[in-house]
Amino acid sequence: MKNKIRSKVQIDLDKQQKEYYLHQQMKAIQEELGGSGSHKEIEQMEVKQERKSGIKKLVLHLTKNLKSYNE
């Protein structure tokens, strides 16, 4: 069970990191092109990414506590 949880968390974190990296690339490209694209859309994506990050941190914290509880 612990391994399954760790594996799922790792997969989710990898996906989140990839999404963040691609988002940052897109943002940099838009800035290079003179700011084309919606700034509001970019801000919304950043807020969404921050929320996901907070959720992932919570899952990691709970997983760690569960591990120590089961030991």
Q: Please check the confidence at residue 4 and state whether its pLDDT lies above 60.
A: yes
> pLDDT per residue over 27-60, tens digit each?
888 888 776 556 777 778 888 888 888 888 888 8
Stretch 1-17: mean pLDDT, rounded? 85
Mean pLDDT of the chain: 81
Q: How far is CA 15 from CA 3, 36, 42, 57, in A?
A: 18, 26, 19, 14
- The pTM assigned to this predicted structure is 0.46
